[in-house]
Amino acid sequence: MDVELDHEWCYRAVSSRDGRFDGYFVTAVKTTGIYCRPSCPAVTPKRQNVEFFATAAAAHDHGYRACKRCRPDASPGSPEWDVRGDAVARAMRLIADGVVDREGVTGLAARLNYSERHVNRLITDELGAGPLAIARAQRAQVARVLIETTTMPFTAISFAAGFGSVRQFNDTVRAVFAASPSELRAARPDRASRRATPLDEHTNTVIVDLAVRLPFDLTSTIGFLAIRAVPGTEAFADGVYRRSLVLPHGHGVAAIQPELVHVGGRTAVRVELVLDDWRDLAPAVRRIRRLLDLDADPTAIDDVLGSYPAMRELVDRHPGRRVPGSPDPFETAVRAVVGQQVSILGARTVTGRIVAAVGASLSPALAGRGLTHVFPTPDEIAGIDPRLLAMPMRRRATLVDLGVRASLGKVLLDVGADRDDARRALLDVPGIGPWTADYVIMRGFGDPDVFLPDDLGVKQGLALLGLPVAAADDWRPWRSYALHHLWGALGASSRSSTAHPKEAT
């Protein structure tokens, strides 16, 4: 669904209170000075009294404050940034990952290979707010999470959320939420009643509820990840999927609960995060959202796929099926290379040995419950002793070469990289062919429109439905989701790694 901020179109969406549009835009009410999510349950304002903005940051810049009833700051993200691959979409993915907070607009522009002035103009022209304002709105949201879910002192929260001073923190919170930090904490929803134990700054632990659009097939998503869990960095027990994270200021661990929760009228995935450094909260949240594909628009996807008669049964069987992603495209690339022509179990075993050999160890505060290490960096893969790799010699060379090229920046594998450039760079690595490159673009970069026509599981799934490969053209721009439905139809969560065709060497 390609949303344009046409006033009449947006007003109809607001009048219907359709939660599908939460995260696409916000509604600002001129008479109250408040902005809301489209599904806000309040009385719909008159048409002449509203204006619409693509981001909460733009509403902030125009003097509006967030609605306390519908919490527009807690909406799912716009799926538009996953669908698109242009400079603005890449910038939004980088801002969400905290690049502006860490490196400023100068760093953002350098990653996009544009001038700072051009990046400001591109983003402001399209979204009504510049990168600094968008990052500021994100900091405010992180601050609110910590205010409402921990007992951290406000001084520590201001630092953790990325504010330059306590005064800036107080001013921003007041401007965005029309309440002081103390007032937000006093009025926090459910207080500690939904926490098993008090969580505070001494444990660096926080429970976050990540908003999601329905329907959402959480079971199949966790199942896909669990069966591929690499020992040491991932674990699955009692329905809970856990994994370690490499974050900008340290390491972290995420525990994803198996059941959706309903908080304040919203549906969410509950995740417990333990962090070395509180400043990594926003990047950790963003990476889990990518991992679970939480910003997707399942209704738009299912409408397209379900309109195709042969696919309708698969969609009806698993409405809201997602394409599980990855916290790190480089990790996805390594795992795809290791998994060439071997079973999922074999790939897990070999990758686990690599992790144990060169991956950094988790601190005692983070380790446990099957987690011991984080996934190796490009430098660590580049320097690995090939004799430690229990795989054919040519594949060993491919893996080390990939690490070297990624370490030198010849293969750019991060969320802000251009997908087409990344694919071409991957294909330049001897031993990486179209299947591996496209798999990395689909899961590592979150591209919703990747198809793997040479994949054995895809061929078998198409044959099961009596469809030719050309049928996939009708599923654009959601072919990645169609692919996962085809894998699912075969029980492919247990065999898709063996469906990897032989790559050129």
| Residues with catalytic function | 36, 455
Q: What's the order of all strands across the beta sheet hosting 250-263?
A: 205-211, 266-275, 250-263, 240-247, 234-237
Residues 6+ apart with CB under 8 A from 186: none
- Concatenating the DSSP letter of every residue in 29-76 gives ETTTTEEE-TT--SPPPPGGGEEEESSHHHHHHTT-EE-TTT-GGGSP
Cα Rg, the chain, nearest whole Å: 22
Contacts of 36 (CB under 8 A, 6+ apart): 26, 27, 29, 42, 67, 69, 70, 72
Reported residue count of the chain is: 505
In angstroms, the CA 307 to CA 474 distance is 10
Distance CA 196, CA 380 (A): 38
Residue type, 455: D
Structure tokens at 388: 């430690």
- CA distance linking residue 324 with residue 475, whole number of Å: 18
State the amino acid at position 107 in one-letter form.
Answer: G
Q: What is the spatial distance between Cα 100 and Cα 95, in angstroms, rounded to a whole number?
A: 6
**Helix 131-149 with 87-96: angle, nearest 10 deg:** 30
In terms of Cα–Cα distance, which of 28, 32, 49 is closest to 128? 28
Q: Contact 258/250 with Cβ under 8 angstroms?
A: no
How far apart are alpha carbons 76 and 64 in whole angstroms? 20
